[in-house]
Amino acid sequence: MLSYRARISRFLAVTLLLSLFMVIPVGQSSTFAAAGDTDSSVSFNGSSQYAVASGAQVIPASSSAGSFFTVEAWVYPRAATASSTNGVILSQGVGSTRFYMKRNTGKLVFYREGQSSEGICGALVENTWTHIAVIVGTSNSYCYLNGQLSGSFSYASTTAIGTTLVLSQYSYGFPGSQSATEYFNGLIDEVKIWNIDRSANVQTDMNSYNPSASGLTGYYDFNEGSGTTLNNRVPGASASTNLTLTGSPSYASVESSTIINGDQVVLFPRTYLNSNGGWQIPSHVSTMKALVVAGGGAGGSRSGGGGGAGGYTYSAAQGVTPNSFQSIVVGQGGIGGNAANYGQGSNGGPSNLGSLITTFGGGGGGGTGFGSGNAPDSYRAGLNGGSGGGATGALTGGGTAQIGGGTTGQGTNGGTGVGSGNYPAGGGGGANQSGGNYNVNTGGSGGAGISDPIAATSICYATGGGGGTYTGYTGGAGGNCGGSANPNGNSGGAGAALMTTPPTTNTGAGGGGNGWTSSTDYAGQSGASGVIILRYPLNMSVTLSYSGGAEATYRTLGTITATGSLAGKVTFYERGKAIPGCVRISMNGSNVATCSWKPSLHGSTTITATAKPSNTYVPNGSTVLNLAVVKRTNKR
């Protein structure tokens, strides 16, 4: 038989679970996620920070006829300043062996030594995530923005690419006219380098974690979260191809979080990519509120129709499995109509929360002037899509909505335009209202969207874009949510009004259709990226422990420690009675509160605690810490 001391030593300290909420600062990874579970990027300051793999041949050197290489990345350029208007995203090689792609006066450009000029790929929107892909060949090259073809070039160059891969700076040497000050100001993530042409796979690549794919020579996911090494995740890759961070750039999580009335609200501005296949549902969550919005459709060119809003689904009680991983795919906005796509705006991309919620993309607006001889008349029509069908800018009707994401998804149709007179185009459909039809002098208005159902902010989601018109008349207003007109900046253009301000990012708004003159066409607005927002009760893990382990000694002073993740005040109890001197003890900066306690009785006892957190919406409560109080071995 076990001794008395051995028996009572079997009492173990147990975990105290308070019905509290976990604080996750904006831009920080969730505390419930283990290392490697999150999706992080690296933030470069635009003045002194970069990453380098010295001497590494990651972009293949081959210059044989017909060879290609592909470079992809997610980038988030910050607002330009006097010192960071331009910024190199990636480069390799120097002098006559160089290749680079960079931000140049707000546009993505690339250059391989021997080309006749830089390839201009299209606008990089400030403070917005954009997926970029450049496919470089010895005779032809291509650009993709958010999975959409944005430029093709007949550049003949068989120059071999040199070594030394660098992010956020030119390769060592700063040859020719390259400026040593052109560091990238913003975030970079998911850099993929291939020795093949990935034109047919870009839309898949942008939403996939695929380091083992055939043809990859470099894959940098930035998910280390700390340290100075960015590992090349391609299986079997040489350690020499790992990147070393220089100048102390910081890591940043893709998602952002805030607390509202005791609930955690998590926003995903783009697709979430890691080796576990998605974002981990917290262990205490079985239902949550979820808003899933697809990317908005783009507006058309040349009196183009307004883009339709992204499809959306809102669930006030979405069932989820605790600790499971759910893929997070956020659709990007469509590309504005231009000559490359005959003036017709493209659809936005779908968004989905794993297998739980899926939406359709938004419809693109039809461009009027490129039909009847320049392209089939079908290009004048608005495209079908998600929450809003794209509006037409010509003789045919607006696109229709495809209801997506279950019974809570909503969509409306685009308005109609006319291919004569002032050529006013119809507006794109919004989540709650169809796009407006043209009138004699004004483009149709975009349909109304939905007010924020998650956090009750003033943000208006899924509004339709306004239709464009001929010069001298009035473009249609963008949709709203019953408040100020055009809250997302997606009104239609009139005449030669070059629309450079895109609709508000992460709203799923459709882009405005642009105007035209008799001699000039301008591209329509691109649609806004979608968003996924989740809301669920917080939970704070607090543990009680004792300085003596599972035993306390009679009439001997010891320390009870309460450790949590929320600031507040703790009251400690023995057998249900408050311990003198241990009432409303404030947690320190590490969310730790202590109680000095001297047992007054022999045998087993129970310690409990209640907490009054600083966040008044958080309730309190505790389970029991069981301790054995044993005899002293010494006398007073």
- DSSP letter string over 203-251? HHHTT---TT-TTEEEEE--TT-SSSEE---STT--GGGSEEEES--EE
Residue 242 sits in the same domain as residue 263:
no
519 and 587 assigned to the same domain = no
What SS3 state is found at 3?
coil
Measure the CA–CA gap between 118 and 155, rounded to whole angstroms. 10
Distance set, CA 48 to CA 356, 377, 455, 561 (Å): 43, 52, 38, 44
> Rounded to 5 degrees, what angle do the CA atoms 628, 633, 636 make?
110
Handedness of CA 354, 359, 360, 362 (dihedral sign): negative
Q: Can you name the residues that pair with 627 across neighbouring β-strands?
A: 605
Query: Which residue has tokens 């380091």?
Result: 211
* pLDDT value for 121: 93
Distance, in Å, from the CA atom of 575 to the CA atom of 624, rounded to the nearest integer, reads 10
Residues 499 and 622 in one domain: no
**Cα-based torsion angle of the residue sequence 481, 485, 491, 493 in order, rounded to the nearest 10 degrees:** 160
Whether residue 429 is found in the same domain as residue 331: yes
Q: State the total domains in the chain.
A: 3
Q: Does residue 242 share a domain with residue 196?
A: yes
Q: How many CB atoms lie within 10 A of CB 177?
A: 5
Assigned domain for 559 exists: yes
Write down the pLDDT at residue 85.
Answer: 73
DSSP 388: B
What does the block give as tokens for 53? 């793999």
Q: Which among 7, 15, 5 has a CA at the least distance from the CA of 607?
A: 15
Residues 6+ apart with CB under 8 A from 577: none
Q: Give yes or no: residues 182 and 143 share one domain.
A: yes
363 found inside a domain: yes
Residue 466 corresponds to which tokens in the numbers above? 């306004």
Tokens representing 128 are 């917005």
Who contacts 152 (Cβ-Cβ below 8 Å, separation ≥6)? Answer: 140, 141, 142, 143, 340
Instruction: Say if 635 falls within a structural domain.
Output: no
Judge whether 568 lies within some domain. yes
Question: Phi and psi for 340 in degrees, rounded to 5?
Answer: -65, -30
pLDDT at position 497 is 56
pLDDT at 274: 95
The two three-digit tokens of residue 220, written as one number: 């940098």
CB 270 within 8 A of CB 39: no
- Domain boundary among the residues 252, 285, 313 is at 252
- Let me know whether 29 and 61 are in one domain: no
Say how far apart CA 91 and CA 99 lie, in whole Å: 6
Can you read off the two tokens belonging to residue 272?
Answer: 């979430």
CATH number, residue 145 = 2.60.120.200
Q: Where are the beta strands (DSSP E) in 54-140?
A: 68-77, 87-92, 99-104, 107-112, 119-123, 130-137
> Considering the domain boundaries, does residue 196 fall inside one?
yes
Rounded to a whole number, what is the distance in angstroms from the first to the last CA of the chain? 31
Residue count (the chain): 636
Asked if 529 and 550 sit in the same domain, the reply is no
Is 305 domain-assigned? yes
Q: Pick from 231, 252, 273: which residue ends a domain?
A: 252
How far from chain centre, in Å, is Cα 311? Answer: 17
Sign of CA dihedral 319, 325, 329, 330: positive
- Residue 231, pLDDT score: 97
| Interacting residues of 274 by C-beta distance below 8 A, sequence separation 6+ | 36, 37, 38, 39, 209, 221, 223
pLDDT of residue 239: 96
Q: Mean pLDDT of successive 10-residue segments in the chain (636 residues)?
A: 34 26 27 58 93 94 83 93 78 90 93 92 91 95 93 87 92 52 91 96 96 97 95 96 96 93 92 95 91 92 88 93 95 83 82 89 71 62 74 57 47 79 84 86 90 90 90 87 84 66 90 79 87 88 87 94 85 93 92 94 90 63 71 68
Same domain, 258 and 330: yes
Q: Where are the beta strands (DSSP E) in 308-438?
A: 312-319, 325-326, 328-329, 352-353, 357-358
| SS3 state at 377 | helix
Here the tokens at position 481 are 């949510």
- CA 249 vs CA 27, 28, 55, 245, 391: distances in Å: 15, 15, 21, 7, 44
Residues 180 and 211 in one domain: yes
Tokens of 503: 């609709």
**Residue 483 pLDDT:** 76
Q: What is d(CA 358, CA 360) in angstroms, rounded to the nearest whole number?
A: 7
> What single-letter amino acid sits at 27?
G
Residue with tokens 């989601």, as numbered in its chain: 461
The type of residue at 481 is: C
Q: How far apart are CA 69 and CA 457, in angstroms?
A: 45
Q: 61 and 111: one domain?
A: yes
**CA within 13 Å, CB half, 49:** 18
Residue 547: which CATH number?
Answer: 2.60.40.10
How many separate helices (H) and strands (E) can be counted in the chain?
Answer: 2, 38
φ, ψ of residue 376 to 5 degrees: the values are -55, 150
Q: Are 130 and 75 in contact (CB under 8 A)?
A: yes
122 domain residue, yes or no: yes
Q: Which of 478, 512, 533 finishes a domain?
A: 533
Side chain identity, residue 618: V
636 part of a folded domain: no
CA 499, CA 337: separation in Å to the nearest integer?
A: 12
pLDDT for the residue numbered 341: 64
Domain extent for 601:
4-21+539-630
CB 403 within 8 A of CB 409: yes
My answer on whether 513 and 414 are in the same domain is: yes
